[in-house]
Amino acid sequence: MMPVALAHLVAVGDPLFSGGAGDTLATLAIVVLKAVVTFVVLLVGVLFMVWFERKVISDMQNRIGPNRAGPFGILQTLADGIKLFFKEDLLPDRADRRVFKLAPYLSLVPAFLAFAIVPVGGTITIAHHKTFLQLADPPIGILFLLAMSSVAVYGVMLAGWASGSKYPLLGSVRASAQMVSYEAAMGLSVATIVLLAGSLSTHDIVTAQSGGVTNLFILKAGLIPFFIFMIAATAELNRPPFDLVEAEQELVGGFHTEYSSIRFALFFLAEFMNTITMSAVVVTLFLGGPSGPGFHFLTWLWPILWFVAKLFVFLFTYVWLRATLPRLRYDQLMDLGWKVLIPASLGWLLIMAAIQLELWYAGVGLVLGLLAWAMLARAMRVGRERSASTFARGGVTP
């Protein structure tokens, strides 16, 4: 007899696994098919994203952009990938061979695994088996997402350390500090969504946002967690204006300075795949994923089109930020993460918890307390700056 806990998980999970042991081979074949299709679509999406970014930035800067390989230069990314694949694969003499070769995969694999929990559509039927248009729907999907985000830090850190050179090591230390700092703020903003949805499953989070625009968590959470998540995710992705991980003017090339050929390409494949994955996660957590109005024909297609449309908006936003914003200083980057985003996300999480418990007076008191704390912190900072400037001019000792 099936245990009660396991029966509950099967009941609320993917209907593909509710057929019993008799359909094991069919279930396994469908899972493998979904994994292959997801991987291929994600790789094709990366190729499109690289071309899209170069083309949009060239349009913003009044340039032509790639236009030779294929129509509109759409095959330029494929040509660059083939070139990198056949270039010489270098291995520094002082490098740790095993870790040096492993590091690119520690950056790439988490990006794909994180996308596995993203719902890209509704329920479809494959060979008389109903299943979610989603590779996996674990009951701890959000924890799995945060875990994969944490594992990606190891790929960056080990790449710099295993190179046996000082410049990549400095770049990896800087990158790890940046990613860990902003991951805390991102996790707290995600906790607000989990609080509203009452579940860690991404499918349940999307279901909780169905039924109209007013049910979207970007509105119900009060916009603050959305902006915090977007800023933290941009820093996690090492995208401008937080691309200090690859600050060529300071660190030659960053943590991947000693890499070449296909291993060098894997890091950039991971970066663009992470961009698509994080955009999909934002759509899932705050904009209802594939939910949206549809029609009575091709009912399975409309959720996919809504998901792709929302995803495209955020991909364009990332390109827009890259084309317009200058790079931050490292002290500005760390101050933003530790002194602004983490306190703001933690305070807003407490406010939403008070509202959920209908403790309005606690929420109002917390807001006033946070405002007082922010004003006090600013006054102390201004006082220190004025004291330091007075000391620099030869005045009173601070």
What is 267-318 written as a DSSP string? HHHHHHHHHHHHHHHHHHHHS-TT-----SSSTTHHHHHHHHHHHHHHHHHH
Distance CA 288, CA 217 (A): 8
Distance CA 332, CA 259 (A): 29
Distance CA 274, CA 319 (A): 14
Distance CA 151, CA 45 (A): 22
Tokens describing residue 391: 């000391």
Cβ atoms 129, 30 nearer than 8 A = yes
Distance CA 100, CA 119 (A): 34
What one-character DSSP code corresponds to residue 382?
H
Q: Output the pLDDT for position 11.
A: 38
Within 10 angstroms of residue 145's Cβ, the number of other Cβ atoms is 27
Cβ atoms 196, 353 nearer than 8 A = no
Give the residue carrying structure tokens 């943590």: 255
Going by C-alpha positions, the residue among 44, 150, 101, 50 that lies closest to residue 261 is: 101
Q: Output the pLDDT for position 311.
A: 94
Cβ atoms 223, 309 nearer than 8 A = no
Distance CA 318, CA 307 (A): 17
Note down pLDDT in tens along the chain; length 398 residues: 333 333 333 335 677 777 654 467 888 888 889 999 999 999 999 999 999 999 999 999 888 888 888 888 888 888 888 888 888 888 888 888 899 999 999 988 998 899 999 999 888 888 778 888 888 888 898 999 999 988 888 888 999 899 888 888 888 888 888 888 899 899 999 999 999 998 999 999 999 998 888 889 999 888 899 999 999 999 988 888 888 877 666 657 778 888 888 888 898 889 899 999 999 999 999 999 898 887 777 778 889 999 999 999 999 999 999 989 888 888 888 888 888 888 888 888 888 887 777 766 666 666 666 776 776 677 667 666 666 665 555 554 44
Q: Output the pLDDT for position 389.
A: 63
| Residue ranges of E strands in the chain | 123-126, 129-132
Q: Output the pLDDT for position 5.
A: 35
Q: Output the pLDDT for position 325.
A: 87
Q: Output the pLDDT for position 249.
A: 60
Cβ atoms 98, 104 nearer than 8 A = no
Q: Reply yes or no: is the peptide bond before residue 326 cis, omega within 30 of 0.
A: no
CA 391 to the chain's CA centroid = 44
Tokens describing residue 354: 């008070």
Where exactly are the structural domains of the chain? Answer: 92-384
pTM confidence score: 0.85
Going by C-alpha positions, the residue among 201, 16, 12 that lies closest to residue 123 is: 16
Looking at this protein, which amino acid is placed at residue 154?
Y
